Structure 1
Amino acid sequence: MATNHIVPFVRASVSIFRDMLDLEVRSGETEEEGDSFVSRGFTVIIGFTGGWKGRFFLDMGGETAMHVASTLTGESYSTFAEEEVLLSGAELGNIISGNAITDINNNNPGLNLRLTPPSVFTGEGLTMFNVRLSSCSVLLQTDAGPVKINVAVEEGNK
């Protein structure tokens, strides 16, 4: 998979983490993931369809997810399984993927990508297998902890 599929998602993630969450972000290198992805403990998954088919994963540890939720809501949380933490993660994933998909659609007329509703999974070491998808990731270092951005796109699509 061409690593350029992930660029709009990384750009949107860095922007949202800085502007909305007031977190400094340092971006790492893009790496090919192949057909599987291992969670750090808290993963938001949003699919997209249209000219490309695939998934966006926003992945972080539970402590990072609680920090993000606390920043968004002004509340504190004792576990990342609390409903407000899950909802905050889903909303953050929606905002990031929405910005990225808008950028992609604006630069690729006729691609007409659309998003699916987010799903949030919790549990360290959860492995997700991407059938007929190839993915790459970028690890973002934030003041709240590491956040992994992963984009899986159907092989053969550009």
Structure 2
Amino acid sequence: MDIKYINPFINGLLNVCSMLGMQELKRTGLSKREKLQTEHDVNVIIGLVGGLKGNVVLSMHEATACHIASTMMGGMPVPQFDLMPKSAICELANMVAGNSVSNLQEIGSLVDITPPTLISGKNMVSMISLVETLVIQFIGAEGSFDLNIALE
């Protein structure tokens, strides 16, 4: 997996999160998996087509999703993971993917994205893709989450 295709996703995530008020976001880890598999109960999948093919999955616990949704809405309390925080997390993933695609275009890779698909429940995303996946862990005031990048 070429790092020139990974950095646009990391930068896209950091740019969007900063814009939405998640200022304390830090990268805490990096690992590689043989296949796309997540361990959290909230997963938003964005497909990539065109110059790059694969999937990007933003994965987190429900509590983190609620905290992120709260931050996105100016601090409004989000006590449960219902329709509103689900929509907010999908929009976050969509914004990150859009920003990342713009970053990829700057390096000459034309990529389109699919609409976000939210899957909730433990161990729900497994073997979507049997392609090597880079997992980048982040933590901020809202909690921790993973950015999974699986490129063919």
Instruction: Decide: shared fold, TM above 0.5.
Output: yes
2:106 maps to 1:106: yes
2:132 maps to 1:131: no
Q: Which residue of 1 aligns with 2:50?
A: 50
Normalization by structure 1: what TM-score?
0.87
Q: CA distance change for structure 1 residues 3 and 112 in 2, over 3 Å: closer, same or farther?
A: closer
- Deviation, 1:40, is 1.1
Q: Which residue of 2 aligns with 1:147?
A: 145
How many residues align? The count is: 151
Structure 2 residues not aligned, in runs of 5+: none
Task: Assess if the C-alpha contact under 8 Å between 2:86 and 2:118 holds in 1.
Answer: yes
* Distance in 2 between residues matched to 1:142 and 1:62, nearest whole Å: 15
The list of structure 1 runs, each at least 4 consecutive aligned residues, that deviate by more than 6 angstroms after superposition, is none
Q: Secondary structure at the match of 2:132?
A: strand
- Deviation, 1:143, is 1.1
1:16-31 → structure 2 map (5 Å cutoff): 16-31=16-31
Q: Which residue of 2 aligns with 1:2?
A: 2
Cα-Cα RMSD: 1.6
Normalization by structure 2: what TM-score?
0.90
* Distance in 2 between residues matched to 1:87 and 1:26, nearest whole Å: 24
Report the identity percentage. Answer: 24
Task: Assess if the C-alpha contact under 8 Å between 2:38 and 2:59 holds in 1.
Answer: no
Say which is worse superposed, 3-12 or 49-58, in terms of deviation: 3-12
Report the residue type matching 1:61 in the other structure. H
Between Structure 1 and Structure 2, the one with more strand by share is 1
* Distance in 2 between residues matched to 1:11 and 1:3, nearest whole Å: 12
Structure 1 residues not aligned, in runs of 5+: none
- Deviation, 1:73, is 2.6
Say which is worse superposed, 44-53 or 19-28, in terms of deviation: 19-28
* Distance in 2 between residues matched to 1:85 and 1:17, nearest whole Å: 15
Q: Which residue of 2 aligns with 1:89?
A: 89
Task: Assess if the C-alpha contact under 8 Å between 1:101 and 1:114 holds in 2.
Answer: yes
* Distance in 2 between residues matched to 1:131 and 1:116, nearest whole Å: 16
